[in-house]
């Protein structure tokens, strides 16, 4: 009986490690191959693969921002892990670009990619942190105590410092334009901020669907599909109003639709795998408060030695 009771946590721990390895290998492999895949579809008027590539790339930023905002442990550890993930994404993409492009990638293009990754992640993280503050939800593990990851230890500070050191060493080694990225164009920064806010229209429903706001599995897909389609229609209307009618309306619509659908459903399915690995999104403050109220000792007199006359 004791052995059978110990198996579920071990199984969940194995699932979490497997999920981490699979996501890391898949996304870094995609980052490396993205430039080559884009060049294969370039010039063929193929909106479908290119829109899917952009959606997958945005999905990575969403996942990193989601973990930064809602993840386990202290922010002093989650933050350097997120920066390390952004750095690895940039390195994998640049290594693939140097492999599939016959010429050297201009520094201006490297700067644009670095700025999109860094400021896109930052804007998405701040938006999700706002959602966390409003809902008071964060990730928890079903096989651990609810408040276990809230305790701060010296090892958290040591690990966070070590991760920062590894990240900045990789930045210097692979030539990430750290000094220049903070001189990014203001218009592009504003566009990234607006895109991150608009991105919440897809991200928040995907999170809600993954963590069972609606119990019916078909209903989750239908609701998310309607939201992605509505967002695409609004985007194409705004695009036509600002820039005019695109030369190929159907291709532009398909491109935007694929970005939204791949990003939304990719996030939904990935977070569903998180749930299978034992993660859940809970209102932790309410749980802790109720436990405190139950376990709190009864009140006593301030001066128990004084007797009434």
Instruction: Please give the chain's pLDDT, 309 residues, in tens.
Output: 344 445 445 578 888 889 999 999 999 999 999 988 888 876 555 566 888 999 999 999 999 999 999 988 778 778 888 988 988 898 899 889 988 888 777 877 777 788 888 888 888 898 899 989 998 888 888 766 555 445 555 555 566 566 656 666 666 666 655 555 556 566 666 666 777 777 888 999 999 999 876 667 788 899 999 999 999 999 889 888 887 888 888 888 988 999 999 999 999 999 999 988 889 888 876 444 444 444 444 444 443 444 444
* Cβ atoms < 10 Å from Cβ of 10: 10
Q: Are the beta carbons of 23 and 63 closer than 8 angstroms? A: yes
Helix (H, G, I), strand (E, B) or coil at 187: helix
Residue positions counted in the chain: 309
Distances (CA, A) of 114 to 24, 83, 93, 153: 19, 12, 10, 33
Output the CA angle 108-39-61, nearest 5 degrees. 60
**CA dist., res. 131 & res. 82, Å (int):** 19
Distance between CA atoms of residues 15 and 9, nearest Å: 10
Tokens of 54: 């952009």
* Alpha carbons 66 and 203: distance in angstroms, whole number: 9
DSSP assignment string, 195-230: HHHHHHHHHHHHHHHHTTSS--HHHHHHHHHHHHHH
pTM, full prediction: 0.80
Cβ atoms of 174 and 94 within 8 Å: the answer is yes
């Amino acid at each position: 009986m004791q052995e059978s009771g110990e198996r579920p946590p071990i199984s969940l721990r194995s699932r979490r490690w497997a999920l981490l390895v699979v996501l890391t290998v898949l996304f870094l492999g995609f980052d490396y191959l993205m430039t080559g895949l884009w060049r294969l579809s370039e010039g063929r008027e193929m909106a479908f693969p290119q829109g899917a590539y952009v959606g997958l790339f945005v999905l990575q930023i969403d996942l990193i921002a989601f973990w930064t905002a809602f993840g386990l442990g202290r922010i002093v550890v989650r933050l350097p892990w997120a920066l390390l993930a952004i750095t690895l994404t940039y390195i994998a993409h640049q290594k693939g670009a140097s492999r599939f492009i016959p010429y050297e990638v201009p520094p201006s293009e490297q700067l644009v990619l670095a700025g999109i990754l860094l400021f896109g992640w930052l804007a998405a993280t701040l938006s999700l942190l706002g959602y966390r503050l409003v809902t008071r939800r964060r990730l928890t593990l079903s096989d651990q105590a609810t408040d276990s990851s809230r305790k701060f230890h010296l090892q958290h500070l040591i690990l966070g410092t070590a991760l920062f050191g590894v990240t900045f060493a990789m930045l210097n080694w692979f030539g990430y334009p750290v000094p220049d990225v903070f001189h990014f164009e203001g218009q592009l920064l504003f566009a990234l901020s607006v895109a991150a806010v608009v991105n919440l229209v897809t991200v928040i429903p995907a999170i809600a669907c993954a963590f069972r706001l609606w119990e019916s599995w078909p209903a989750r897909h239908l609701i998310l599909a309607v939201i992605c389609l509505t967002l695409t229609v609004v985007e194409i209307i705004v695009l036509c109003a600002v820039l005019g009618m695109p030369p190929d309306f159907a291709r532009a619509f398909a491109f935007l639709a694929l970005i939204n659908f791949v990003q939304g459903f990719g996030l939904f399915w990935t977070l569903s795998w998180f749930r299978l690995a034992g993660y859940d999104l809970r209102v932790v403050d309410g749980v802790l408060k109720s436990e405190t109220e139950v376990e709190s000792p009864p009140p006593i007199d301030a001066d128990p030695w004084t007797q009434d006359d």
